[in-house]
Amino acid sequence: MPRASDSDAEAVRVLGTGGLVIIPTETVYGLAADAGNAEAVAAIFEAKGRPRFNPLIAHVADAMQAEAVALFDPRARALAEAFWPGPLTLVAPVRDRTGVCDLARAGLDSVAVRVPGHARARALISAFGRPVVAPSANRSGRPSPTTFADAVEETGFAARAAINGGPCAVGVESTVVSVLDGRVALLRPGSVTREEIEALVGPLARFGEGGGEGHRSPGRLTLHYAPDAPVRIEAADARGGEILLGFGPGAGDPRWSLSPTGDLREAAANLFRRLREADRERPTGIAVSPIPAHGLGEAINDRLRRAAGYVG
């Protein structure tokens, strides 16, 4: 088990020697390593059981450090200015192939970068001085950890230090947007919404619409974010032995609700924690009330469909 560390200096030292560190971010807890150290990056894939074709996100301290790693066009720059620090990842042509090693990029000519909104994460990266890859600290395919305890339970065995930054405020992984060949595409919905992005850069290319290879998101597996219990979405009620995660007033037991008032931000923040808590009760299944499709609902529904194994 990692030493819980209150000292960023200790975590920076571990990163510098190729070790892994559990770090808080505003989205979910991450399992972090030096992005330029192929052995350290390999240890992340190993600890998570993550397929090597699924590239990692390089976390950087600021937009300047991002542009040292990636080539931004004016629209990428506009998105960075509007949403960083925060839960938006930009996929752009790679500039520095050593700072974010081949394995971290799954051999692609593009790189995913983001400046996290969590001040502690930024301070750590800034003190380390180089990009840090930090995929969610769960074992591959499982729900992402949004609390320190869940992160340590998932991949603590592989980490040499762990920073407790409290519960994650956002609760779902970052929005991933590619900005390649003058085209902007949404690869993964998140809490920066499609509507917010389109207001800034115009209509997003539809998935698979002549965007070329670069606009594909290699790691988006059908069954992902899944607890042990089967997940049933768009449920009106719990069937025998199921736990219902409700949304909005009157939907099931309020103790299990994603948001009793029907608030999408609250539902996102609660989503993975409730899935994990429900799973611990060993129900026959986890049913989830319908969630609106707009705004942050797009990301919540995306994670739920994958937890239920519905989409490719």
What is the contact surface with ligand AMP in residues (CB under 6 A)? Answer: 54-57, 91, 105, 108, 110-112, 135-136, 173, 176, 187-188, 217-220
CB of 141 to Mg ion, least distance (A): 9
27 makes contact with Mg ion (CB under 5 A): no
DSSP assignment of 110-153 equals: EEEEE--S-HHHHHHHHHH-S-EE--BSSPTTSPPP-SHHHHHH
Q: Supply φ then ψ for residue 14, to 5 degrees.
A: -60, -45
Cα 183 from Cα 85, distance rounded (Å): 23
Residue 65 contacts Mg ion per CB under 5 A: no
Q: How far is CA 269 from the centre of its chain?
A: 13
- Please identify, using beta-carbon distances, which residue of 130 and 224 lies nearer to ligand AMP: 224
- Residue 224 binding: pick among Mg ion, ligand AMP, none (C-beta 5-8 Å cut-off by kind): none
Q: Provide, rounded to whole angstroms, the least separation between the CB of residue 164 and ligand AMP.
A: 21
Q: Is 5 in the site for Mg ion (CB under 5 A)?
A: no
5 vs 25 by CB, closer to ligand AMP: 25
Minimum distance, C-beta of residue 207 to ligand AMP, in the bound complex (Å): 12
Residues in contact with Mg ion, counted by CB under 5 A, come to a total of: 1
Assess 89 for contact with Mg ion (CB under 5 A).
no
Judged by CB under 5 A, the stretch of 75-83, 120-128, 130-138, 160-168 that binds Mg ion is: 130-138
Q: Does 146 bind Mg ion (CB under 5 A)?
A: no
Does residue number 136 form part of the binding site for Mg ion (CB under 5 A)?
A: yes
Q: How many CA atoms lie within 13 A of 299 on its CB side?
A: 30
Omega before residue 85 within 30° of 0, cis: yes
Q: Output the smallest distance, CB 85 to ligand AMP, in A.
A: 16
Among residue numbers 34 through 63, which ones bind Mg ion (CB under 5 A)?
Answer: none
Q: Residue 6: how many CB atoms within 10 A of its CB? A: 10
Contact of 225 with 190, CB cutoff 8 Å: no
Question: Shortest distance, CB of residue 187 to Mg ion, whole angstroms?
Answer: 13
Burial-class residue 182 by CB neighbours within 10 Å (0-12, 13-18, 19+). exposed
Q: Tokens 């230090």: give the residue.
A: 161
- Of 71, 68, 42, 76, the closest CA to residue 56 belongs to 42
Contact indicator for 112, 175 with CB cutoff of 8 Å: no
By C-beta, is 176 or 226 nearer to ligand AMP?
176
Residue placing its CB nearer to ligand AMP in the complex, 110 or 257: 110
Which residues are near Mg ion by CB under 5 A? 136
